Amino acid sequence: MTYSAAALVLFSGGQDSTTCLAWALERYGRVETVGFDYGQRHRVELDARLTVLDGLRRAFPAWAERLGADHLLDLRGFGAVGESALTSERTLEMDARGLPTSFVPGRNLVFLSYAAALADRRGLDRLVGGMCETDFSGYPDCRRETLDAMERALNLGMDRDFRVETPLMKLTKAETWGLADQLGGRALVRLILEESHTCYLGERGALHAWGRGCGACPACELRARGWDEWRAAA
């Protein structure tokens, strides 16, 4: 197989970004990853990132050949400005605008700006993210319309031809589990289940059927429901 282009995956260490990383490794000749420390309460995901990357390299030698450098950027100053239930001790609920308090204003826009600057220096022309509007969590910066506008702004402002890829955009969480199975079989599903981190509260206790987490926050509920729907259809 001939691979073209090179990609930078926005990689948090969660289910969606791990699936997106596998998707990119199937398509691009060189793939790098970038994570962001923005003062998140669930900063255990920063450790999960490294565990998942190591697991991918060991379980998938063909992917390991194309998996390049990992980058971690310090955005804690931004996290303090965009204070939310993900960066401070606040209750996970709906605010006066009808948005979840887990919404960090402008987070994906900031992430993409930093990712594009890094990609420019690293010679990467694809930015891959796990944003999804089918299982819409109430985050307006996850909509494809937002990302199309951001893609255009980045290309105009940096005189580049970046493409913002969102392979999960139209998938349900059940379909995301299915895509992982399609890409890497049960080995990838098991790695995501056991080692990736999605829980907003940072819980890494008991291993549930769908993975680790508190089981009560919106991220855990969405992941668990998707797992049940995928297994029921299998």
Question: Is the residue at 19 inside a domain?
Answer: yes
pLDDT digits (tens, 9 = 90+) for 132-155: 886 555 677 778 998 999 999 999
The CA distance from 44 to 85, in Å, is 16
Asked if residue 92 is part of any domain, the answer here is: yes
Return the pLDDT at 94. Answer: 47
The whole-angstrom separation of Cα 109 and Cα 153 is: 10
Residue 138 lies inside a defined structural domain of this protein: yes
pTM score of the predicted model: 0.89
pLDDT in tens, 25-73: 999 999 999 999 987 766 788 999 999 999 999 999 999 999 999 999 9
Query: Could you tell me if residue 1 is inside a domain?
Result: no
- Show Cβ contacts of residue 194 under 8 Å, excluding neighbours closer than 6 positions: 207, 211, 212
Question: Could you please report the per-residue DSSP string of 37-70?
Answer: ES--TTTHHHHHHHHHHHHHHHH-HHHHTTEEEE
Please report whether residue 27 resides in a domain: yes
More confident residue, 59 or 87: 59
Under the banding of pLDDT at 50, 70 and 90, the label for residue 219 is confident
Question: Residue 124 maps to which CATH number?
Answer: 3.40.50.620
CA 60 to chain CA centroid, nearest Å: 20
Closest alpha carbon to 10 in 104, 113, 129: 129
Residues of the domain holding 210: 6-233
Instruction: Give the Cα separation of 123 and 9 in Å (integer).
Output: 13
Distance (Å, whole) CA 230 – CA 178: 7
The token pair at 81 is 């400005």
Does residue 68 belong to any structural domain of this protein? yes
Residue at 164 is within a domain: yes
The answer to whether residue 13 sits within a structural domain is yes
From the list 112, 117, 121, 123, the residue with the least C-alpha distance to 5 is: 123
Residue 105: what pLDDT? 67
Here the tokens at position 204 are 């890494």
User: Which amino acid belongs to residue 172?
Assistant: T
Enter the DSSP assignment of 229. Answer: H
Dihedrals φ, ψ of 8, to 5°?
A: -115, 120
Contact 12, 50 (CB under 8 A): no
Task: Give the count of domains, the chain.
Answer: 1
